[in-house]
Structure 1
Amino acid sequence: MEPIPRHWASVREVRSLPDGRELDLTVHGSSDDSPEDARRDAGERLERLVAAGGPRPVGRGDREYYPDRRLPEELLQEIRSPEGALVGAITRNRYGAAVLNTDTVLVSDVDLVDETARDRPPSARGGLLSRLFGSGSESAPDDERDPDAFGRQGPGPRGEHHARIVTLIDDFTRRHPELGVRSYRTRNGFRLLITGADAAPGSDRARELMAEVRSDELYVLLCRVHDTYRARLTPKPWRIHVEPFRDLGSRTAADDVHRRWVEHYQAASADVAVCRLLNITGPTPDALEQQIIDLHDRAVRPESGLRLA
């Protein structure tokens, strides 16, 4: 996989577009060399965006756009093979969670959908970026009342949807005996780690496999933009009663405010897990795939019995 940039910078300007519109644009730049080079990259990307006529819409009624490259995230760790090849990286996303980035194992997320949300206007459902990266507006659930909080199937429409997804995953594993599939329950859905697929994140093969299990379409787009599969390793802050740190990805551990937030977040994360392991099927992963699986499982604590967050 390609290395994750080490330096980030942002440029925000109100610019006139060729069609006469004026937009307040924010563009991120990156560099492996220096913050100054990242700022130069951001400026050049802003000029290209203006010349191209501005951001492109993504549909679904949202009046936002999805960026054509990854957003700023602090690089926490690189994972390399015994031969030294980069096979993964852990970053901290914009609301503070640690995220595994890899192209070694196919990762697919499947959401338990609130069916009533489909009929709400975008303003009620939140914008595209807030739904992808978290706005902090989601209230922390009352885990004692929520039957899914501990990864169990509950009654009612949500429980029925849970059962349908389990059946869908079972059907997928029967259709693809050549693939290794580790299925997990997350706080609001499912995660699959699929081995033996030999499918790059932006490939048709990856898109087809994720479509078979009805992976969230925004997650699929996120993987294509980042050119890696992504798996959140630590809780969403608001689920453990921690305020998300705005624009955390553009800061570094050298920042005192950043460091204090991370310490508070890590302490609050001690009594929760991110995934619950449900099932393992198919061939044994190869050594590199197993390296990524082991790292993932150490972080998400899938057999701890702790509540999911």
Structure 2
Amino acid sequence: MRPIPRHWATARETVTFPGGQEWAMTAHGASDLSPEDAQRDAREHLRRMVAAGGPDRGKDSDVEYYPLRRLPEELLDELHGPDGTLVAAITRNRYGSAVLNTEAVLISDVDLVEPSSQDRVKPGGGGVLSRLFGGGRGEELTEQQQDPDAFGLRSAGRRGDHHERTLALIEDFRARHPELGVRSYRTRNGFRLLVTGTGAGPSSERARDLMGQVRSDELYMILCRVHDTYRARLTPKPWRIEVDRFEDLGTRTAADEAHRAWVERYRQASERVAVCRLLEVSGPAPSTEEQQIIDLHDRATRPESGLRLA
């Protein structure tokens, strides 16, 4: 895989376009050479944006999180194969979680559909959580019922139905592809698949087809194509473990004391949770390189710890 840039820079400029429209524009640049080269790249990117008439304003806000150009992420670690080839990198995303980046193993996240607004409150019934777990009005949920794992696994109704349909979809995928190794995990709001033996690059049509068969999130597939790596969150989302959001620090410089203090708070809080839970393993054994990725993923996400998911 291509190395993750080690240096990032940002260029900002307020530009007035023909017709008098004024935009505050921001462009990111990256480099493996130096911060100065990253700054040059950022300025060049900004120049091209201005020459093209400005940023595309037609995208909705969701797509902006999955941009058409890689956004800055702190490089935390790299994993190399026996021959020295880079097979994975761990970065810190915009809200602070550690993320696995690799092209060696196909990774597909499948989220459960949230109940619609019509299901949230009905006359004579409790809130959505009470109904999902069979509770009535005035009943408090037990600690077990509040466990995110309970969604689908122990619930009736639409959420449980969707859980069962998704499991059936994954089982059908296994049956259709006996040549592939499939590790399925439960995440807080859905499932994660680690698929070995595909030989499919993250931006390939083969990868898009395979991920589409399990109804992987479309925006996630865009992200894989932009970064040219599959991605998997390895550590909890900060707000799920009562840690302030990383982007609120206003810095991504690891040398800053505020940055180091946040990382330590986040690390301590993360010890109490897991990111996913292993459900099933099937298919041929992974290659040595693929096994390296699986081991790295499982060490970080703790799928057999029994801890609550976050």
Cα distance between partner residues in 1 of 2:250 and 2:73:
4
Describe how 1:67-146 pairs up with structure 2 within 5 A.
67-116=67-116, 144-146=144-146
For CA contacts below 8 A with separation 6 or more, give which structure has more relative contact order: 1
Q: Give the 5 Å matches for 1:1-309.
A: 1-17=1-17, 21-56=21-56, 59=59, 64=64, 66-116=66-116, 144-146=144-146, 148-149=148-149, 152-246=153-247, 251-309=252-310
Q: Structure 2: where are the runs of 5+ without partners? A: 119-141
- Partner Cα distance (1:298, 1:103) in 2: 19
**What are the Cα deviations for residues 41-91 of structure 1, in whole angstroms up to 9, with x where unaligned?**
111100101112222356568695853221110000011001000000000
User: CA 1:143–1:250 in 2, change beyond 3 Å: closer, same or farther?
Assistant: farther
Q: In 1, are the aligned partners of 2:63 and 2:219 still within 8 Å (CA)?
A: no
Check whether the contact 1:57–1:64 (CA below 8 A) recurs between aligned residues: no
Structure 1 contact 94–245 (Cα < 8 Å) conserved: yes
- Give the partner amino acid of 1:42: A
How far apart are 1:22 and its partner, in Å?
A: 2.5
Q: Deviations over 1:109-143 (max 9, x none)?
A: 0011225279xxxxxxxxxxxxxxxxxxxxxxx97
**Residue type of the alignment partner of 1:51:** A
Question: How far 1:149 moved relative to its partner?
Answer: 3.1
Shift of residue 10 of structure 1? Answer: 1.0
Percent of residue pairs bearing the same amino acid type: 65
SS at match of 2:246: coil
Using the size of structure 1 for normalisation, the TM-score is: 0.86
Determine the C-alpha separation between the residues in 2 that align with 1:304 and 1:62. 33
Amino acid at match of 2:282: T
Tell me the CA shift for residue 169 of structure 1: 0.2
Residues 144 and 150, structure 2, Cα contact 8 Å, conserved in 1? no
Larger CA deviation: 96-105 vs 19-28: 19-28
TM-score normalized with structure 2 length: 0.86
Range with greater deviation from structure 2 (51-60 or 81-90): 51-60
Report the RMSD for the aligned CA atoms in angstroms: 2.3
The answer to whether the 8 Å contact 1:55/1:65 transfers is: no
- Structure-2 separation of matches of 1:89 and 1:23: 35
SS at match of 1:183: strand
Paired with 1:54 and 1:30, the residues of 2 have a C-alpha distance of: 20
Instruction: Output the CA distance in 2 between the equivalents of 1:275 and 1:65.
Output: 23
Distance 1:86 1:194 in 2: 19
Paired residue secondary structure (1:273): coil
Which whole-Å CA distance do the structure 2 matches of 1:248 and 1:75 have between them? 18
Task: Flag the 1:147–1:158 CA change in 2: closer, same or farther, 3 A.
Answer: farther
CA distance in 2 between counterparts of 1:264 and 1:4 reads 26
Indicate conservation of the 8 Å contact 1:201/1:223, yes or no: yes
Whole-angstrom CA distance in 1 between matches of 2:204 and 2:251: 29
Q: Which runs of 5+ in 1 are unaligned?
A: 119-141
The answer to whether the 8 Å contact 1:56/1:66 transfers is no
- C-alpha contact (below 8 Å) 1:201/1:228 kept by paired residues: yes
CA–CA distance in 2 between the matches of 1:223 and 1:84?
Answer: 24
Give the secondary structure class of the aligned counterpart of 1:69. coil
Name the residue aligned to 1:126.
none
What is the CA distance between 1:106 and its match in structure 2? Answer: 0.3
SS of 1:90's equivalent in the other structure is strand
Kept in 2: contact 1:180–1:280 (CA 8 A): yes
How far residue 168 of structure 1 moved from its aligned partner, in angstroms, is 0.3
